[in-house]
Amino acid sequence: MTTVEDALSGPDPAAGRRANRVAVRTFRPRRSWPALIVGALVLGVAALAAAEVASTLAGAPLRTAVTSAAGEYAAGARWSDPLVRIASAVAAVIGLVLIAVALVPGRGRFTALRTGDPELVVGLSRWGLKRTLASAAHDVGGVRGAHVSVGRRRVKVRVRTDLREANGLRGEVAAAVRGRLAELEPVGEFKVTTRVRRVKA
């Protein structure tokens, strides 16, 4: 096969990048609970305000305790009042927090895996990823137990051993875990850190 044919038959890098983006978007966690809570609060305030305006236009204002107190204060309040400034600052901070919550992605329950095909999206649950990496660490000779924690971009492996000389065990465990990650091919890169603790046999 010629070089040109090799290039034509090989995987398309652009398609691979597009597939990775699709997988990441698919498994990106949604901020549904904050949006639902804020939406419910805004809806309640808007409904109360609309009811007060409609009743006032009809000639029979509701005059609830909340709207009456707010109306009396708003009638005499000035922009220079300290309480008005504090309320404005609090409202601005709440708005900035809501924007930050909307922009910063949460921690997803699935890890996207590379497929090279934008039409095929595969993900592994965090629990499944922990189990398979712990199994890889446990398969290393001398390891009596393994615990794995998976962060956003870091994998921490803690193993127990009863070997007297376990100098090279840490590197072997790290290599085994990295090898399993290479087989799974997650879209994001993970940094592997290992810790070995000796236990009595």
- Quick one: pLDDT at residue 8? 43
Query: What's the pTM value of the predicted model, to 2 decimals?
Result: 0.58
Q: Compute the distance between CA of residue 192 and CA of residue 174 in angstroms, rounded to an integer.
A: 7
Contacts of 192 by beta carbon, 8 Å cutoff, 6+ apart: 154, 155, 157, 174, 177, 178, 181
Least Cα distance to 181 among 157, 200, 158 occurs for 157
Q: Compute the distance between CA of residue 22 and CA of residue 16 in angstroms, rounded to an integer.
A: 10
Q: Compute the distance between CA of residue 17 and CA of residue 130 in angstroms, rounded to an integer.
A: 26
Look at the alpha carbons of 190, 191, 195, 201 in this order and tell me if their dihedral is positive or negative.
Answer: positive
Count the residues in the chain.
201
- Quick one: pLDDT at residue 185? 87
Domains of the chain: 32-103 (no CATH), 110-198 (3.30.300.30)
Strand pairing category for 143-150 and 154-161: antiparallel
- Quick one: pLDDT at residue 132? 93
pLDDT, one tens digit for every residue, the chain (201 residues): 444 444 444 456 666 677 667 666 666 666 667 777 877 888 887 887 777 777 777 777 776 666 666 666 666 667 777 887 888 888 888 878 877 777 776 667 888 888 877 777 788 888 999 999 999 999 998 888 899 999 888 999 999 988 887 788 889 999 999 999 999 888 888 999 999 988 876
Residue with tokens 């890889």: 136
